[in-house]
Structure 1
């Protein structure tokens, strides 16, 4: 991941109002999609466990979560683009390639590169939407100005406080931060369960019960305050009806605009 952060620096334009649509032609493809989403859910559980532990820093908890999401992205990239996805994305960024697979590689790496900045960059909201349709799924990576939504939970990190406090106030503030993190941990566990319910195991759940699903999540930071949100999104099943044979970039659907209007403050700038 450090290699991507140092070497890959594309353009936010590759993400703007676009999503990656990936086919699910058979059980094997469904299993891989399910396994990737379970990595994300498991990452949330680990993050929740760390937030509830007063001896673990919030930064460490976020790093462990990011590792799970990054592994999910890498798995998709390897399946769609191949093992050389990083060099392919760099070729796209340099203008040496403009084919769909290079664009998809750049899309995912751009999203991952910017997501890695959530801890260091204040007032940037990571706002992805993942939708499951009967024969495909879409990943719409979005970023917005600000650090929270109308439904986000908020919690504090004492290690990110800039102001200096005297010993008495510092102890009280740290105690309040740890309490807010412990409360947030319970919510994160609930978020993980939503992911498991929306994207169930294809070997255990009938097709009619798993053929659609969706989530939108959001995470950001402002100073020492962090926020997280995850909720269900109902996909528009009439949007995609044709059978696909390979992944492609598509325009984001109405679901993205709808969730944006529901969750983000009016006038928020969406990247």
Structure 2
């Protein structure tokens, strides 16, 4: 990934503040979308269970979530660009091709690369907004710097505390961290339904009730403190007036901008 990292320094600006828009031409496409979102919801429930387990370190809970996301992006990269997706993405960034396949390969590969740093780079915020419209959905991934508003749940990791503590202090720190992780697990369980309700089952939900929906998931770390937001996000019904025939990149949209203003402070876009 080193070559890709060097290339991004000169080329990644073309991907800033953009989202992927995917057509939903039929019920089969909606089923696939629904199933993918249910996998995300299941991963969130699994994360809450791991956070609530005193014998599981916080890092293991995050590695489980990251593994799920890696697999998802690898699958999308291969769907879009085939086994040569790296060459497809770099050709797009080099201006050697100008099509939606190259654009999506570059977008997904950039996100995949950034995910490798998600829990090792301090003070970087991961922002995911997924929005459902009548004939399409959008996926907006951003990597930001800044801080969280009071809406976020906060929890601590004893493994990330850099301090020289005696045995009693270590025990107290561990207990405090466990309590904060318990509260975070409770928060995730209480909010995970926003994913399910954003993308209901097309086989059991009338079209009129599933045309619009959305959620935002934001996570980040500052030292030993982890923060997270998982909330509903309402799509703008006037955002699109066409039916896309192929996937493509679109501006991030007013919904993502509002979410950043609501849940984050002093935001700057990394990508």
Change beyond 3 A, Cα 1:136–1:82: farther
How far does the alpha carbon of each residue in 1:170-191 deviate from its partner, in whole angstroms, 9 at most, with x for none? 1100111011111111111223
Change beyond 3 A, Cα 1:76–1:88: same
Q: What aligned pairs does 1:54-65 form with structure 2 within 5 A after superposition?
A: 54-65=54-65
Aligned mates of 1:189, 1:75 — CA distance in 2:
27
User: In the alignment, which residue of structure 2 is the partner of 1:121?
Assistant: 121
User: In the alignment, which residue of structure 2 is the partner of 1:25?
Assistant: 25
Does the 8 Å CA contact 1:129/1:217 hold for their aligned counterparts? yes
Q: What aligned pairs does 1:107-186 form with structure 2 within 5 A after superposition?
A: 107-186=107-186
Aligned mates of 1:63, 1:249 — CA distance in 2:
29
Q: What aligned pairs does 1:45-124 form with structure 2 within 5 A after superposition?
A: 45-124=45-124
How far does the alpha carbon of each residue in 1:68-118 deviate from its partner, in whole angstroms, 9 at most, with x for none? 223333444444444543442243345543322111111112112213312
Change beyond 3 A, Cα 1:15–1:141: farther
Does the 8 Å CA contact 1:124/1:147 hold for their aligned counterparts? no
Aligned mates of 2:95, 2:161 — CA distance in 1:
41
Structure 1 residue runs without a partner (length 5+): none
Does the 8 Å CA contact 2:229/2:263 hold for their aligned counterparts? no
How far does the alpha carbon of each residue in 1:159-214 deviate from its partner, in whole angstroms, 9 at most, with x for none? 11111211110110011101111111111122322101111111121111111111
User: In the alignment, which residue of structure 2 is the partner of 1:201?
Assistant: 201
User: In the alignment, which residue of structure 2 is the partner of 1:269?
Assistant: 268
Aligned mates of 1:107, 1:226 — CA distance in 2:
26
Q: What aligned pairs does 1:175-254 form with structure 2 within 5 A after superposition?
A: 175-254=175-254
Report how many aligned residue pairs link the two structures.
Answer: 266
Structure 2 residue runs without a partner (length 5+): none
Q: Secondary structure at the match of 1:127?
A: strand
Q: Secondary structure at the match of 1:142?
A: strand
Aligned mates of 2:2, 2:44 — CA distance in 1:
26
Change beyond 3 A, Cα 1:37–1:93: same
More strand by share: 2
Change beyond 3 A, Cα 1:104–1:66: same
Alpha-carbon offset, residue 239 of structure 1: 1.4
Q: Secondary structure at the match of 2:250?
A: strand
TM-score by structure 2 length?
A: 0.91
Alpha-carbon offset, residue 67 of structure 1: 2.0
The worse-fitting range, judged by mean Cα deviation, of 109-118 and 202-211 is 109-118
Q: Secondary structure at the match of 1:141?
A: strand
Aligned mates of 1:242, 1:74 — CA distance in 2:
29
